Each structure stands twice: as C-alpha cells, then as structure tokens.
Amino acid sequence: MMIRAGTGWQYALADLSLILFVPAPAPVPVAAALDSEPVAVWSAEQGAPPLAGWLAQVGNDPRMEVRIVVRYTEGRRAAAVGQAMDLAQAGGARAQQARILVEPGARDGAIVSLYYASERPAGNATSLAR
C-alpha cells in the first residue's frame, strides 16, 4: 500500500485560494472620512465670512464633521500648522473637533469643509490635533 503525502498542486492552489478570498478588513474611520465628498466648503480668502458664523449657519446637522486642510509651500510648514490651529480655535466648538490635515502644496491656502462621515469612532469623536 502506498500513501501519498499532500505535495500536489491541488494543495498549493487551495492555500492560495484561502489567501486570495479572505475578506478585507473594514476601513478605519480616518480613511473613510477622507474618502467622502464635502457638503460645503469655506475658504480662507479675502471677503470670506467669519468661520464660526459660517459653521453655525451651514453646519447644523450633527452628523456632519469638520475638516480643516491647510496647504503650504516649501519652508512654511510651521506657519501652516499654526494657521490650522488658529482656524480650529476661531471656528468655535465645532471646529475644535475637526480633522486637521496639513500638507505640502503648490501654493499656501486653507479650506474648511463639512462632510458626512461614513463611520464615527466609538464614544466621543476626538480631535486629531490633540
């Protein structure tokens, strides 16, 4: 009687099938929020309304979250971080819970957007700036 060990191509294919068809984990809340489309956008340009007033007028829905994005050119990163923190303070309680993103760009500038987050962290939403 001959006993064959499991060394055939069928075993390798079965192992690969298990690897390929394992479900992917759900996206983390930060990635889900960054993928959503903004509902309203405020820009830090001349003539723009005060941020706190704009948020009070436009952002009444508690399901909406605030995102502050500040872009900077070479050598202005520290100033951009300071501008993001200033915007979070100037926007009141809503903006103090904002997701803050400071990134290099072609020109300096800041925008604040409101968006529906597809997922929220358990418990209270915490600020990424802290």
**pLDDT tens, residue by residue, 68-107:** 999 999 999 999 999 999 999 999 888 888 999 999 999 9
d(CA 105, CA 74): 8
Taking only Cα atoms into account, the Rg of the chain, rounded to an integer number of angstroms, comes to 23
Are 90 and 129 in contact, with CB atoms under 8 Å apart? no
Answer for the pair 40, 58: CB distance below 8 angstroms, yes or no: yes
**Token pair 């309203």: residue:** 40
DSSP 50: P
Is the Cβ–Cβ distance between 33 and 89 less than 8 Å? no
Terminal-residue alpha carbon distance, the chain: 70
Local confidence band at 118 (pLDDT 50, 70, 90 cut-offs): low
- What pTM did the predictor assign? 0.63
Cβ neighbours, 10 Å, residue 52: 15
C-alpha 32/C-alpha 25 separation (Å) is: 12
